[in-house]
Chain A
Amino acid sequence: MGEPATNPVLEMTGIRKVFPGVVALDGVDFRLFPGEVHALMGENGAGKSTLIKVLTGVYGIDGGDIRLGGEEVRIAGPLAAQKAGISTVYQEVNLCTNLTVAENIFIGREPRTFGKIRWGAMRKRAAELLQRLDLDLDVSAPLSTYSLAIQQMVAIARAVDISAQVLVLDEPTSSLDASEVEQLFRVMRRLKADGVAILFVSHFLDQVYEISDRLTVLRNGQLIGEYRTAELPQVQLVEKMIGKELATLESLEDKAQQSRTKSAAADPLLRAEGVGRTGAIAPFDLTIHKGEVVGLAGLLGSGRTELARLLFGADRPDQGELSLDGKPVTLRDPQVAMKRGIAFSSENRRTEGIIGDLSVRENIILALQATRGWTRPIPRRKQDEIVDKYIKALQIRPADPERPVRNLSGGNQQKVLLARWLITEPRLLIIDEPTRGIDVGAKAEIQKLVAELSDGGMAVLFVSAELEEVLRLSHKIAVLRDRRLVEELDNTAGVDADRIMQTIASGATS
């Protein structure tokens, strides 16, 4: 396949966007052809989001031009973008879950006669539209009755129906499980066949390779290049994205292997016996030793998060016994758990992790301050000292402790949260999806950190949807399926992703 025969539907040349103090985009070119899936790749902060926001009219540009179908356009706002034929579906679905599927698709543009909505026609058209995407839904059911994946596809259906030239999908797969991703990809392929140009952003390299035809790599606001996906090996892609070689990732594996045998002999730190919570997770037994990394594997919704929350007192178990250092404990609320040396970083970075308005410094000291109570503030000099140390150690960028944490990229926010928990010097660190939605570089750094912490004697409960990552880091893996802990595996030589997938797929193995 050479240069696509047709002309590009979208052509952005020399795009420049400056924010106070930062050049976010510096002469970036981007082309999108009809009937292709084009992945936009780059680390957090590389300029992907800025480029998308320029394209969808959220930001104006400081230089360059945008051509749609060969004609130069000025995209004045999101509405103008929509009118010009550019639709966007964001990571967080912007729909009203309390309305029906049909209402969501036609909200604001309902078929009417004399102001009266023609409900029948609306439902019929919605059903037809979804049919075209191979989706068989009850269009008069509230959207909330469907899974997040389906909701996302409804959002896509709506977007395509409004304007079908260019479809921007920003991290659409980050909260979907494997089968849902497959479903989404089917829809994307169908749209592609209809000639829609799809701009796809994802942190999952495998997905990019599965679905995209071409890709454009950005780094530090600059264009690195445009490639045919099939002609660019993954390793090269990652190197182009981070601008250095992948030594860190490689060496990690050996390290985990070495220490794998070590911790089984250590003393048990936290033991759960028959702990469970009705409707969240069936009673389970789990022992975490000092210095041990326990991985929780399972599909989305298999009870990984629910299990982790019980061990932190974020939710209270309604049965079973927890013991710490061999003594029974009741974790009444998070603070009790924290005082006993347990830390928990939630998977929902935005809603249960960072406090967006507060500064990096304030976010980092928050948990430590909470355990001390409000009457015993951490002296400012001490705060600066701790915060500086962790900004350096975790390479938080930008290295400005007074910047609102909201303005940091996802990977850096995640590091801020890790810093928040590390300064409480926990004995057990529970981290739920610490690498979701962050770039490869930061991901490797966080994985490395987990390995180091475990070497230093800290126990880690590592929850992740990425099996590869769980396998790389864990000494022991607990597999969950349908809100039940079905198997506990020592991560020895014979254990691999296939072995775990098998358990996830079929339940307990014999």
Chain B
Amino acid sequence: MTILKNRLFWPVAILVALLIVNVFTSNQFITLQDGHLFGTLIDILRGSAPLILVALGMTLVISTGGIDLSVGSVMAISGAVACLLIKDLGDQNAVGSVLLIVGVAIVVSAALGLWNGSLVAVVGIQPIIATLILMVAGRGLAQLVTDGQIINVQSSPYATIATGFFLTLPVAFLIAMAAVVLISVLTRRTALGLLLESVGGSPSASRLAGIRAKRIIVMVYVVSGAFAGLAGLIYSANIKSADSIAAGNLIELDAILAVVIGGTALIGGRFSILGTVIGAILIQTLQVTVVGIGVPSKATLLFKAVVVVVLCLSQSATFREKVFGRFKIRTGVPA
């Protein structure tokens, strides 16, 4: 039963179970309508895009043994910058200008990542503290950008990022998938993945093997910042406004959870991009399911917690040994 031993077996099993629940509880699970797909499944995919993006960056950061708590704040800043600039456009529907602004927002986010990375790799501050700085200060920064207001925009090209469809699929999900492909290629087709895992697995051994860890560490925080910025744009485009308080609130915790569900250890080393994507979609599905099966809103967080506990227990070797160990069939090796 090697399939049972696969790290991703339980997350996938629980994801499938939740999706099956949704087939019964939702009015429409998936249909084709007005030239694009529609239904609960599509909502899940669309809704999971920001979390997938943030969790991707988080995966790389965690694989180096670090953590990025500032992703939610970066989302808020990115959305705020974009909305502020779009609001001042003569024609908010000018595609070229909106694209340029999107680029600016992502560059700003990457610069914030550079700040995090420098604090960690150059100054040598512990990642949790280094990124805590921007986590706290970032929301303030976003509020400064928006002058404490919620900025509303009326730009259909901007809204397309979150609500548009392309080839029957939600644009937001496609963006997330493009990011997944980009990161997979970047880490697995080059030696970046190996060097990341090496640095996370043992920084001192990596140094003596000639790996210059500083650049690599700075780079993952930059990627994390840029992806958080992109996630912030999707969030803000979805509500057509910049909300510095709510944007990306507590998303760092969901992202860390997605990474862990996906089988990447918090102490660094080996990471799994596919695992993270499954983890992120699982968390989003869970959120949708909770609403779908009519759990009272007061109890949703608790329900989510229970599922997470079950999931974590299923992944714990010690727990499995304790519970299933005694029923184990002695296959062994023929003597």
Contacts and interface: CB of A to CB of B under 8 A. Distances in A.
Contacts of A366: 194, 198, 206, 209, 211
Given A357-B201, A357-B269, A344 B208 contact: yes
A153 to B, nearest CB: 28
B269 A371 contact: no
Interface in A4-33: 18, 20-23
B198 A355 contact: yes
Given A352-B205, A370-B209, 7 more contacts: A20-B333, A23-B335, A351-B204, A352-B204, A362-B197, A376-B190, A377-B190
Given A335-B210, A338-B210, A374-B190, A356 B202 contact: yes
B298 interface: no
A252 to B, nearest CB: 28
Q: What is the size category of the interface that chain B forms with chain A?
A: 20 to 34
Interface of A: 18, 20-23, 62, 312, 314, 333-335, 338, 344, 346, 351-358, 362, 365-367, 369-378, 420
Contacts of A18: 332-333
Contacts of A21: 333
B181 interface: no
Nearest to B219: A374
23 contacts: A333-B207, A334-B209, A335-B211, A346-B205, A353-B205, A354-B202, A354-B205, A355-B197, A355-B205, A362-B198, A366-B206, A367-B210, A369-B191, A370-B211, A372-B191, A373-B191, A374-B190, A374-B192, A374-B195, A375-B190, A376-B190, A376-B191, A377-B191
Q: Which of B191, B205, B209, B333 has most chain A Cβ within 10 Å?
A: B209
Interface in B181-225: 189-192, 194-195, 197-198, 201-202, 204-212, 216
Interface in B254-271: 269-270
Contacts of B206: 355, 366, 370
Counting from the closest, the 8 A-B pairs by CB-CB distance are A370-B210, A355-B201, A335-B210, A377-B191, A374-B192, A357-B269, A370-B211, A338-B210
Contacts of A20: 333
Nearest to A351: B204
A366 B208 CA distance: 10
A357 B194 contact: no
B189 A377 contact: yes
Given A357-B270, A377-B191, A378-B191, A346 B208 contact: yes
B25 to A, nearest CB: 41
Contact of B208 (A22, A352, A374): A352
Contacts of A338: 210
Given A20-B333, A23-B335, A377-B189, A355 B211 contact: no
